[in-house]
Structure 1
Amino acid sequence: MTAPAPATGGGGEPRDTGPADPEAGAALVEFLGTAVLLLVPLVYLVLTLAQLQAGTFAVQGAAREAGRAMVTADSSSEGVARAQAAAGIALADQGFDDVAVAEALTLDCSADPCLTPGATVGVRVRVAVGLPFVPTGLRDWVPLEIPVEATQVATVDEYGQVRP
C-alpha cells in the first residue's frame, strides 16, 4: 500500500496550509446574532400592526353596521338591540370576542323619538387593542393598549313614518 501524496500547488511543490485561522466562521456567527437581534423586533412590529389593523377594520365595520341596523329597525328599543348585535358580530369577525359591546358602542340621536324621518343617528365604536403577547392581567397595571375609534352617521329614511 502506498502513502497518499502530499497536497501540491500548481507547480508540483507541497502547499503550506499554515496554522488554522482563529477567525474562521466568525462572520457567520455575527450574521446570525445580528439577524436575530433585528428580526425579533421587526416580527413583533408586524404582529402589532396586524393587530391594530384588525382593530381598525373591526370598529369601522361595527360602526357602519350598527348605524344601518338602527335606522332600519321598527322601534328605537329594537334598533338598539339590533345595533348591539350587529356591532358584536363585526367585532367578533376580527377576533375581538371579549369586547363588551354595550361599553364599546355609543348611539346618539338627533331627534326625539330617535327614528323620526330625516333624523340622524350617530354611532361611535371604541375598542382598546392590546399589544401581542402581553397578558391581560398586566394590562390592568400598565396601559399596554392602543385605543381605536370609528364614527358613523346614519340617516333615518326621510319618507317613512315616525317609529317610537
Structure 2
Amino acid sequence: MNVVRRLRRRLATRRLDEGGTAMIELVWLGLLLLVPVVYIVLTAFEVQRGAFATAAAARAAGRAYSLSESDAEGRAQAEAVARRAFLDQGLERTPDLRVSCAPADVCLSGGSVITVVVDTRIDLPLLPDVLGGNRPSIAVDATHSVPYGQYQEVR
C-alpha cells in the first residue's frame, strides 16, 4: 500500500511540474509547421507570377511581330514587348525568345503562322547563394501562335 501511495504522489507532483508545457509545445509545433507552409505558398506565388509573365510575353510578342513592317522590325518589337511583359510582373530579366514561321520561315506573307516561344527560369525565393552557388529554379515556358492574314493590303 505504501508503494502505491508513493507512486500516486510522484505522479501528482509530476503533473504539477509540467504545467505550462502544452503552450510551449504548441508554439514550437506551430512554428515548425508554419514556416514550411509559408515557404511553399511564397514559392507557388513566385512561380505563378513567372508563368503569368511568360504567357503574357509570348502573346504580346506574337502580336507585335505580326503587326510589324519587316522581319527585323518584328523581332525587335517582339523582344521589347516581351521585356515589358516581364517588367509588368516585376521580373527584371530578359526572357529567351524564339520566333519561327510556317511555311519556310516566311513570316510576313499571307497564310503564314508566326509561332513565338518564351523560356525563362524562376528562382526559388529566400534561398541564399551560399547553398551551392546556383540558386534552385523552375523552368517556365509559353508558346503562342499568330496566323498572319491571307488578305493583306498590297503596298
TM-score for the superposition, normalised by structure 1:
0.79
- Alignment match, 2:76: 81
Gaps of at least 5 residues in structure 1 are 1-17
2:128 paired with 1:128 = no
Q: Paired residues, what number?
A: 142
Change (3 A) 1:67 1:52: same
Q: Which has the larger radius of gyration?
A: 1
Q: Is the 8 A contact 1:116 1:162 kept in 2?
A: no
Displacement over 3 Å in runs of 4+: 137-143
Residues 113 and 140 of structure 1, relative CA distance in 2, 3 Å threshold = farther
Deviates more, 1:77-86 or 1:33-42: 77-86
1:62 aligned residue (57, 60, 63): 57
Superposed, which structure 2 residues align to 1:1-164 within 5 Å? 21-97=16-92, 99-101=93-95, 104-111=96-103, 112-135=105-128, 137=129, 141-142=133-134, 144-161=136-153
CA distance in 2, matches of 1:75, 1:109: 13
How much does 1:134 deviate?
2.1
CA contact (8 A) 2:106 2:112 kept: no
Higher helix proportion: 2
> Residue 61 and residue 142 in structure 1: after superposition, are their counterparts in 2 closer, same or farther (change >3 A)?
same
Q: CA deviation at 1:118?
A: 1.2
Matched residue SS, 1:62 = helix
| Separation in 2, partners of 1:86, 1:70 | 10
Aligned-CA RMSD value: 2.2
Residue 141 of structure 1: CA displacement? Answer: 3.6
User: If the length of structure 2 is used for normalisation, what is the TM-score?
Assistant: 0.83
How far apart in 1 are the matches of 2:85 and 2:130? Answer: 27
Identity %: 38
